[in-house]
Structure 1
Amino acid sequence: MLFKDLGLSAALLKAIDKKGYSQPSPIQEKAIPQVLQGKDVLASAQTGTGKTAGFTLPLLHRLGESKAKKRPVRALILTPTRELAAQVYDNVKEYSEFLNVRSAVIFGGVNQNPQVDLLKKGVDVLVATPGRLIDLNNQGFLKLNQVETLVLDEADRMLDMGFLRDIKRILALLPVKRQNLLFSATFSKEIKKLAASFLNNPVLVEATPENTTAEKVDQLMYRVDTKQKQDVLINMITEGNWSQVLVFTRTKHRANRLAEKLNKSKVTAAAIHGNKSQGARTRALAGFKDSSVRVLVATDIAARGLDIPLLPYVINYELPNVPEDYVHRIGRTGRAGASGQAISLVAGDEVSYVKGIEKLLDQRFDFEIIEGYEPDPNAPTEKPKPQKRGRKNHGKRSSSNRNKNNSSRSNRNKNRKGPKRN
């Protein structure tokens, strides 16, 4: 099938052709006709399969040429992160090049004034993160009472980031009668529950089975002691002369420390996570894309929405404790049919995480050992359980001690002076 067979307008086909595309991906082929018919859609497709165009193209087709002078927001696309919002906005701009459609993107971490100025001029398609959208709405800078189509992109990550309450608040601001599209890489019970709460008789579209990984991603698991991970990582990158390596850590602090260590070892690296300013995140990503930065060290939240064509290497410096996040991580490579390598450095206390990933993917991994970095065979393979406090008399205070402390606390409160009243 070709894009011209899907019923899209001539202006959209011209923009598609300019980008060099002729055949839709499986998710696009299945989703576009359903969206064009105005149906609510619940779509699942692994990362890198073209989900964005799957909703952007038919959405723009349905909007058609805008004739309204004030241009109210008619299509709202919600994303969990700034990077993903910017990526989706770029797609909207490119595909609407030959249409009379205005679009804008709003997200936090930057000055709101330029965003407010755009909204005042009128916007047909608005791409937004939930927090900034609610903030500007509360300030009276936008209205959502004429939205015709709502898109939740990467809805699973929105829930992971705690946006459920914000999503419900936004839904209450929208017209009851509208088209709803929910796109996600994976579906959980929570996602299905959310979908059931606001989608009307949705069409289920799946390009690949749930929680699957790209076929062309070569997945390798190395057993490495925690204290050896830095040396192993540096050795892999330098000996292999790798560039454009995306490395995942579980915490922002670890991302910063690892990036510093890599730079000291003359491997150019930058960290990207939620505590970084938008300017720093933009510079890091730009440097990574033009290869002036060889390694991008990221947390799961910051990495969602990174669109790096032909990314060859993803390394799990620390495995995620949520198996679904492993799917998202390695989905950064092997995109659009390209091949890639996903390498995991597994410490003894992360072995249980591998078991969770194996269960999710219904796949078995064999650990490999790197010569010269053999792990301690006696290292624990489970996270240490916190000791229970207060067994028998250990860690307990006697009732007499508790009474003494309570009495002392009461006396201190009596002696404490309160504020003077006028």
Structure 2
Amino acid sequence: MNADAPTDNFSEFLLPDALMRGLASAGYDTPTPVQTQVIPLAMDGMDLLVSAATGSGKTAAFLLPIMQRMIDTPVHEGGTRALILVPTRELARQIHTHFMRLGSYTRLRAEVITGGDSKGHQISDLRKNPEILVATPGRLLEFLETGEADLSDLEILILDEADRMLDMGFAEDVLAIIRSSNPERQSMLFSATLHHKGLSRLTDSFLREPQVLVINPVREQHPDIKHQVILSDDLSHKQEQLSWLLEQETFDKAVVFTNTRDSAIALTNAMMGRQLRVAALHGELEQRERNRVMGLVHSGRVKILIATDLAARGLDVQGIQRVINFDLPRSGDDYLHRTGRTGRAGECGVAISLVSPPEWNRMESISRYLNLTFEPRIIEGLKAKFSGQTKSAKKPSPAARKKLASANKKDASKVKNRLRDRKNIGNRRKPSGTAVEAGHAPLTKRKPTQE
């Protein structure tokens, strides 16, 4: 199906009535571009290699075909029929939440297998033979090696956020899981970018003559997100600006990103000291605490989440209208994943970056990489003394640099000759009336030495 001819309604996919009721109950109305392109091909059983930006609706794009197949062709005995591999526990739980919404009128069962939770409970869940597993690679591989999990009946294998899995060092675990699964399966791989250096290793062993779809490329600007930048002088100045934004701005929910766990903890304590109701999310939290924090955010009891990049992927919370980069991210891709937490499902969002002097060059680099124009913004009474660095002079062309280097070489040669001549003055006889060399002082006659 061509993206230029989008589907106006999910009914055109001829989904089972139970899924249509689930879509209506979950508030799904018009399919997104990724859903328009992926769903028909996935329902036809094709292997897919899909590049889609975060927040594009890809979770429903692979869940609906999986659920459609299982409803239309039920299997009363057997093991896991679909496996969705993801890089983080948070993303696994978000996908399970999507499944529960879409499948609320079906009898399908899905379980989550991730590190950090009780192995005993997960083994019990596996013995119930759920049709769908959502798992992180490490814990699932453990169960495959002990025989607690079995993928011999697998019909569909999904790799979501494949580039992130590679970045986290899961390549070998993923390959081992692929080797343990039914070779006759259908496979789909979703990644923010198809240019990751390690991606071909997975695609070569994972996909068979895949259909390649590039939808909402990672560098494409999100039409529903406004990008702003506020200059800051130092850490304490940033905290004052952040406090003002959180107290004075009107929003449903906000996520504040830092680059380190220590920074997230320190900033959470600082904002609590200003009587703001905030919660922290970082990689060192135990799973039970992560679940508690996310429960507070989902319910609205906490409106402000201060997080590391752990939350940049897999965090899908309705009503996030502000993303604030307290620390500027390390790359353009990280910037996109962070800001993709807002402006989801057609809603408008604002991404604000607080930029101090050491971060200025990184901000310009992100701007160039994403072809993104930041809207400058000033908070009255909290304006920075730092005004940004002036743009450097335009770099000369390669031909001009070569010409300049040649000229410098000639000048250096002249200087050497002059120095040599000056050192040799007085060591040789010069005819009288010799002109004085430009730039040199006239020489006085030496008195004859007495013998």
C-alpha change, 1:36 and 1:243, in structure 2 (3 Å) is closer
Structure showing greater Rg: 2
Question: Is 2:208 the partner of 1:200?
Answer: yes
Amino acid paired to 2:361: S
Question: Is 2:267 the partner of 1:258?
Answer: yes
For 2:145 and 2:85, how far apart are their aligned partners in 1? Answer: 17
Taking the TM superposition and a 5 Å limit, the aligned residue runs for 1:263-302 are 263-302=272-311
2:127 counterpart SS class: helix
C-alpha change, 1:105 and 1:380, in structure 2 (3 Å) is farther
Match of 1:90 among 97, 107, 115: 97
User: How far 1:239 moved relative to its partner?
Assistant: 2.5
For 1:205 and 1:170, how far apart are their aligned partners in 2? Answer: 24
Q: After alignment, is 35-44 or 65-74 more displaced? A: 65-74
Normalising by structure 2, what TM-score? Answer: 0.79
User: How far 1:4 moved relative to its partner?
Assistant: 1.4
For 2:224 and 2:30, how far apart are their aligned partners in 1? Answer: 20
Aligned position for 1:160: 167
Amino acid paired to 1:232: Q
Q: After alignment, is 132-141 or 16-25 more displaced? A: 16-25
Question: Is residue 186–residue 211 contact of structure 1 (8 Å, CA) maintained in 2?
Answer: no
Match of 1:149 among 132, 150, 156: 156
Question: Aligned residues, how many?
Answer: 382
For 1:187 and 1:315, how far apart are their aligned partners in 2? Answer: 28
Aligned position for 1:418: none
Aligned position for 1:341: 350
For 1:334 and 1:186, how far apart are their aligned partners in 2? Answer: 20
For 2:164 and 2:385, how far apart are their aligned partners in 1? Answer: 34
Aligned position for 2:448: none
Question: Is 2:26 the partner of 1:19?
Answer: yes
1:220 counterpart SS class: strand
Match of 1:224 among 223, 227, 232: 232
Normalising by structure 1, what TM-score? Answer: 0.84
Describe the superposition over 1:307-363 as per-residue Cα deviations: whole angstroms up to 9, x where unpaired: 111311000011111210100110100111111110001111112221221222122
1:64 counterpart SS class: helix
For 1:206 and 1:278, how far apart are their aligned partners in 2? Answer: 34
User: How far 1:379 moved relative to its partner?
Assistant: 8.9
For 2:18 and 2:300, how far apart are their aligned partners in 1? Answer: 34
For 1:178 and 1:58, how far apart are their aligned partners in 2? Answer: 14
Describe the superposition over 1:202-228 as per-residue Cα deviations: whole angstroms up to 9, x where unpaired: 112233233223211110011212321
Taking the TM superposition and a 5 Å limit, the aligned residue runs for 1:322-341 are 322-341=331-350
Describe the superposition over 1:220-269 as per-residue Cα deviations: whole angstroms up to 9, x where unpaired: 01121232111110122113355521000111111111111110110111
For 2:38 and 2:224, how far apart are their aligned partners in 1? Answer: 23
Aligned position for 2:37: 30
1:115 counterpart SS class: helix
Question: Is 2:384 the partner of 1:374?
Answer: yes
For 1:164 and 1:355, how far apart are their aligned partners in 2? Answer: 32
For 1:257 and 1:45, how far apart are their aligned partners in 2? Answer: 34
C-alpha change, 1:6 and 1:69, in structure 2 (3 Å) is closer
For 1:244 and 1:180, how far apart are their aligned partners in 2? Answer: 36
Question: Is 2:186 the partner of 1:179?
Answer: yes
For 2:96 and 2:363, how far apart are their aligned partners in 1? Answer: 36
How high is the sequence identity, in percent, across the aligned residues?
37
Aligned position for 2:361: 352
Amino acid paired to 2:289: A
Question: Is 2:177 the partner of 1:170?
Answer: yes
For 1:189 and 1:160, how far apart are their aligned partners in 2? Answer: 9
Match of 1:3 among 7, 10, 16: 10
User: How far 1:200 moved relative to its partner?
Assistant: 1.5
Aligned position for 1:215: 223
1:341 counterpart SS class: strand
Aligned position for 1:384: none
2:34 counterpart SS class: helix
User: How far 1:281 moved relative to its partner?
Assistant: 1.2
Match of 1:101 among 108, 117, 131: 108
Question: Is 2:142 the partner of 1:135?
Answer: yes
Describe the superposition over 1:162-206 as per-residue Cα deviations: whole angstroms up to 9, x where unpaired: 222221121121122221111233433336423344221111223
Amino acid paired to 1:255: A
C-alpha change, 1:66 and 1:90, in structure 2 (3 Å) is farther
For 1:344 and 1:329, how far apart are their aligned partners in 2? Answer: 11
Amino acid paired to 1:35: A
Question: Is residue 156–residue 188 contact of structure 1 (8 Å, CA) maintained in 2?
Answer: no
Unaligned runs of 5+ residues in structure 1 are 382-422
C-alpha change, 1:187 and 1:256, in structure 2 (3 Å) is farther
Describe the superposition over 1:38-85 as per-residue Cα deviations: whole angstroms up to 9, x where unpaired: 111112222222111100001111233565454301110011111111
Unaligned runs of 5+ residues in structure 2 are 1-7, 392-451
Question: Is residue 269–residue 293 contact of structure 1 (8 Å, CA) maintained in 2?
Answer: yes
Taking the TM superposition and a 5 Å limit, the aligned residue runs for 1:30-109 are 30-64=37-71, 67-109=74-116
C-alpha change, 1:97 and 1:286, in structure 2 (3 Å) is closer
For 1:327 and 1:196, how far apart are their aligned partners in 2? Answer: 27
